[in-house]
């Protein structure tokens, strides 16, 4: 980014928009670029102090330049080459007067080696300036910069020299934070534990959780369950275990590409969401849930698209991570006809998401689940979007046995008194969620009578339940027919999958 900014300045671009919240780091970069030939002076404008030369005290200001119009007029009058940084100009840029002054400045800057750099955490460009401005995203600190911050904090705290592995974990935990955020969280760990070691990685990660909460659209999910809590789906589990080290440097050195993502289709209640959540424990990566409902915002044109961009940018900033989108068929179901319903917002969001999935280079693994595959646009399912599409069917007899074992063992230590073969036989066609709810219903019945629940209670609860495979048999059959030739079975037994019978 520094090289790109330097090239734009040397090429005499009159207006550059630098999107960043790290003013100090960005100013240091600009000051370094200004030292190149021809040397330029750097001036900084704020609405509180007007124009001040970079490095000078704030009281050494140009009088009557607090208003943005007066400041831009002052810049136009200057004859010497210079870089003029305008901080947080975005609230004023839609003003007709400010827009006009900026256009006048652009016209007058030809062959002058003068450049206005608008610096703001919010990208807001009026249509009159779209053809004139070059937009750059200022990157967050990389490992080398964070290493300098960590070294400084360790020297101040007089820590013992950490091992290479400990240092790497502390640095990776801080990836995605600004330099200021990294300094603060390292100091927090130092104050809390009196040292900076591998044990303080969790404290550093807590700052990432705060970052996600501030985003408002992403949700940081902490899952206590492991992959062993999912009954069956051995083929899917094997695929995930094979890729448990896919984001390591060792995998890159081996020549493996980073996994893109996976789509899990299937009958509701068969463990799709649980698989996604437990994968984060298996891979040791943070799990971020993207709530598409929060993306849509009708308060301002373009706001929904900006929400999606910010959410994806946040996910990339703390990568490697897993981005979880539950029931994606509902999120993008209306994208094809959105021109009539919401002015094309859904269609634009869908297009932006597809482009991001295709072109992303950051290690963000997308895990999406869907129940109604016919609602998904065809371009979403083509090869290359996901590494694999899995189909999760209703559990077979072996898987139902495993599901009963898991849920009974969670609630009682001794489960030998239950006849699992009988229970498995009478709940044919039940999903894992329906089996769990039948067991809970049996426990409530016995609890109300102040006794221990029995085999008969579970049988009665199962017989009182009408499974989804019966109430929505046409939908389940259609899903199975679609998945037969287009998706990979999640169960271990392909023959069982191909049987596709209740």
- Predicted TM-score (pTM) of the model is 0.68
10 Å CB burial of residue 187 (0-12, 13-18, 19+) is middle
Residue 240 makes CB contacts below 8 A (sequence gap 6+) with 227, 275, 279, 282, 283
Domains 227-392 and 397-428+432-466 share a fold: no
The Cα-based distances of 384 to 263, 333, 348, 390 in angstroms read 12, 21, 20, 14
Q: What share of the chain is helix, strand, coil (3-state, %, to 5)?
A: 50, 15, 35
* Eight-state DSSP code of residue 493: -
For residues 185 and 171, give the distance between their C-alpha atoms in angstroms, rounded to a whole number. 12
* CB-based contact 143:171 (threshold 8 Å): yes
Domain boundaries, the chain: 2-137, 143-215, 227-392, 397-428+432-466
Per-residue pLDDT in tens (0 to 9) along the chain, 502 residues: 788 999 999 999 999 999 888 899 999 999 999 988 778 999 999 999 899 999 887 666 666 889 999 999 999 999 889 999 999 999 999 899 999 999 999 999 988 889 999 999 888 888 899 888 999 988 888 888 888 888 888 777 666 676 777 777 788 778 778 888 888 888 887 777 777 776 667 777 777 777 677 667 788 887 777 788 888 888 888 999 998 888 877 888 888 888 888 888 888 878 777 887 888 888 878 888 888 777 776 554 456 777 788 788 878 877 788 899 888 887 776 555 544 445 567 777 888 888 888 888 888 899 988 887 777 777 777 767 788 888 888 888 888 898 899 889 888 888 888 888 999 899 988 888 899 999 999 999 999 999 999 999 999 999 998 888 888 888 888 888 888 778 888 886 544 444 444 3
Determine the 3-state secondary structure of 387 from DSSP.
coil
H-run or E-run covering 19 = strand 15-19
**Nearest 10 degrees: CA dihedral of 346, 351, 352, 353?**
90
Out of 2.70.170.10, 1.10.8.60, 3.40.50.2000, 1.10.10.60, select the CATH number for domain 397-428+432-466. 1.10.8.60
Determine the 3-state secondary structure of 413 from DSSP.
coil
- The per-residue pLDDT for 329 is 80
Task: Report whether CATH 3.40.50.300 matches the domain 2-137.
Answer: yes
How many residues are listed for the chain in this entry? 502
Q: Parallel, antiparallel, or unpaired for β 321-325 and 287-290?
A: parallel
* CB-based contact 93:126 (threshold 8 Å): yes
Token pair for residue 247?
């984001």
Fold of 227-392: Rossmann fold (3.40.50)
- pLDDT (tens digit per residue) in 122-154: 888 888 998 889 999 888 888 888 888 888 887
């Amino acid at each position: 980014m520094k090289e790109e900014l330097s090239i734009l300045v040397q090429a005499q671009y009159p207006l550059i928009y630098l999107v960043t919240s790290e003013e100090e780091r960005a100013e240091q970069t600009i000051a370094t670029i200004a030292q190149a030939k021809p040397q330029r002076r750097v001036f900084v404008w704020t609405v509180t102090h007007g124009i001040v030369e970079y490095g000078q005290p704030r009281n050494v200001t140009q009088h009557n330049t607090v208003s943005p119009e007066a400041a831009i007029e002052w810049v136009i009058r200057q004859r010497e080459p210079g870089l003029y940084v305008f901080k947080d100009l975005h609230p004023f840029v839609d003003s007709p007067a400010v827009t006009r002054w900026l256009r006048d400045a652009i016209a007058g800057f030809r062959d002058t080696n003068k450049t206005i750099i608008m610096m703001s955490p919010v990208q807001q460009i009026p249509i009159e300036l779209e053809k004139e401005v070059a937009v750059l995203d200022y990157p967050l600190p990389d490992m080398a910069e964070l290493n300098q911050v960590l070294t400084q904090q360790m020297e101040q705290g007089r820590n013992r020299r950490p091992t290479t592995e400990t240092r790497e974990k502390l640095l990776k935990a801080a990836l995605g934070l600004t330099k200021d955020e990294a300094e603060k969280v390292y100091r927090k760990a130092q104050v809390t534990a009196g040292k900076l070691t591998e044990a303080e990685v969790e404290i550093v990660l807590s700052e990432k959780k705060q970052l996600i909460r501030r985003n408002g659209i992403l949700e940081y999910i902490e899952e206590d369950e492991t992959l062993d809590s999912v009954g069956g789906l051995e083929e899917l589990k094997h695929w995930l275990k094979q890729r448990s080290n896919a984001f390591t440097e060792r995998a890159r050195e081996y020549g493996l590409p980073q996994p893109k993502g996976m789509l899990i289709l299937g009958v509701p209640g068969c463990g799709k969401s649980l698989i996604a959540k437990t994968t984060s424990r298996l891979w040791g990566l943070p799990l971020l849930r993207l709530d598409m409902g929060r993306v849509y915002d009708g308060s301002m044109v373009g706001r929904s698209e900006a929400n999606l961009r910010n959410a994806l940018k946040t996910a990339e900033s703390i990568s490697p991570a897993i981005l979880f989108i539950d029931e994606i068929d509902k999120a993008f179901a209306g994208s094809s006809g959105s021109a009539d319903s919401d002015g094309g917002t859904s269609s634009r969001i869908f297009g932006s998401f597809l482009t991001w999935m295709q072109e992303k280079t950051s290690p963000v693994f997308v895990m999406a689940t869907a129940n109604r595959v016919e609602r998904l646009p065809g371009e979403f399912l083509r090869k290359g979007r996901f590494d694999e599409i899995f189909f999760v069917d209703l559990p077979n007899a072996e898987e139902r046995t495993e599901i009963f074992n898991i849920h009974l063992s969670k609630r009682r230590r001794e489960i030998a008194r239950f006849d699992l073969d009988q229970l498995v036989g009478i709940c044919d066609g039940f999903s894992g969620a329906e089996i769990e709810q039948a067991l809970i219903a049996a426990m409530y019945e016995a609890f109300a009578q102040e006794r221990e629940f029995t085999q008969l209670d579970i049988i009665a609860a199962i017989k009182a339940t009408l499974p989804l495979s019966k109430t929505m048999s046409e939908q389940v059959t259609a899903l199975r027919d679609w998945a037969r030739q287009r998706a990979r079975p999640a169960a271990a037994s392909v023959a069982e999958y191909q049987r596709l019978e209740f």
